[in-house]
Structure 1
């Protein structure tokens, strides 16, 4: 299957959130409206050509099984889903959890394991005076995806480098999130999160 683009992802996610079926009104009432009619129609046509959506008799669209298999197949390992999503574009763990419809705590653990296996890269970004972690796929992650797609998921597993401290990692990440969401000064936030990051490094998690 061809690689999904950011707009493809938005359209398919709209359908997934509506039990696999959506229409022009749903698109009009979503953030996709910003793209304009021409661009949306081109994207819908491309998705239909790639058999990711079907056009129904009433003019609505349905998400195909092929599209569901791309990111929302329950039989697919979570680490594969995360890599596939990051191949579309870089995301924060919050966005990854949203698009994959998985609890953020589970994403935190999986993304850390991918990072330790050198398949994704974390890059801190400042958003609205908050420091967030954005992740992007590395060439090693892309290569792993190609191998999995060619040989099958059942033949490949991701080395589990996660240590017993993963629960500590989840707690620290939640504390960092709470701090960034609080109303204390940015300087104080950076000071506290820096100290928490040092703890993570000392624990090697």
Structure 2
């Protein structure tokens, strides 16, 4: 997989949004204009040298198939496209959906699978007085996506989520360990009460 920086991603995402081809006006009307002319021209030249975009006779640019292969190829599993994106930058769900052009309904189970396998971490962050869920790739996720370069996507193994019986067993073990600690009785009771509520919910 060709590595992309955040600015590379922005430019290629602009191309995707413009049906594959963008021009000076598109750049001027995008957030990329914040970079300034010099830095933007350097970024475009680098992408062109790496064969990620091609220059057209009218001065516009077109994203290449090589670049599409990274994040926008339907033959690549959704989970792998998510990891590749998060390898470049952490994103909330709305951003993942916007960049990858994959419906939220399809993304949610894949992200949950990645999270349960500790490939991805979800952390709440406050933005404009709202709390949003931001997803970031973990070292295990980086290792998994790097391995696909040599082993292929089909050889990536995902563990099965723990069954309710296994979880209840773990809760029982925690309760026993709490009894052996030096915590104050009132704190032990408080923790045990929360664990009992958790067990009740799991048994529903």
1:19 match:
19
Report if the CA contact (8 A) 1:121-1:136 is conserved: yes
Report if the CA contact (8 A) 2:120-2:137 is conserved: yes
What is the CA-CA distance between 1:16 and the residue it aligns to? 0.8
2:122 match:
122
Report if the CA contact (8 A) 2:22-2:60 is conserved: yes
Report if the CA contact (8 A) 2:53-2:61 is conserved: yes
Residue 102 (structure 1) aligned with residue 109 (structure 2)? no
Residue 48 (structure 1) aligned with residue 42 (structure 2)? no
Aligned pairs, number: 168
Report if the CA contact (8 A) 2:23-2:61 is conserved: yes
1:111 match:
111
Report if the CA contact (8 A) 2:2-2:70 is conserved: no
2:83 match:
83
SS of residue matched to 1:133: strand
Report if the CA contact (8 A) 1:71-1:84 is conserved: yes
Report if the CA contact (8 A) 1:121-1:138 is conserved: yes
1:2 match:
2
TM-score normalized with structure 2 length: 0.76
Residue 92 (structure 1) aligned with residue 113 (structure 2)? no
Unaligned runs of 5+ in 1: 164-197
TM-score normalized with structure 1 length: 0.76
Residue 61 (structure 1) aligned with residue 61 (structure 2)? yes
SS of residue matched to 2:154: helix
Instruction: Report which stretch shifted further, 83-92 or 148-157.
Output: 148-157
2:141 match:
141
How far apart are the structure 2 equivalents of 1:162 and 1:62? 46
How far apart are the structure 2 equivalents of 1:30 and 1:2? 24
Unaligned runs of 5+ in 2: 164-196
Q: CA RMSD in A?
A: 2.1
1:177 match:
none
1:31 match:
31
Report if the CA contact (8 A) 2:119-2:140 is conserved: yes
How far apart are the structure 2 equivalents of 1:162 and 1:113? 12
What is the CA-CA distance between 1:14 and the residue it aligns to? 0.7
What is the CA-CA distance between 1:58 and the residue it aligns to? 1.5
Report if the CA contact (8 A) 1:113-1:162 is conserved: no
Report if the CA contact (8 A) 1:79-1:158 is conserved: no
SS of residue matched to 1:122: strand
How far apart are the structure 1 equivalents of 2:162 and 2:152? 23
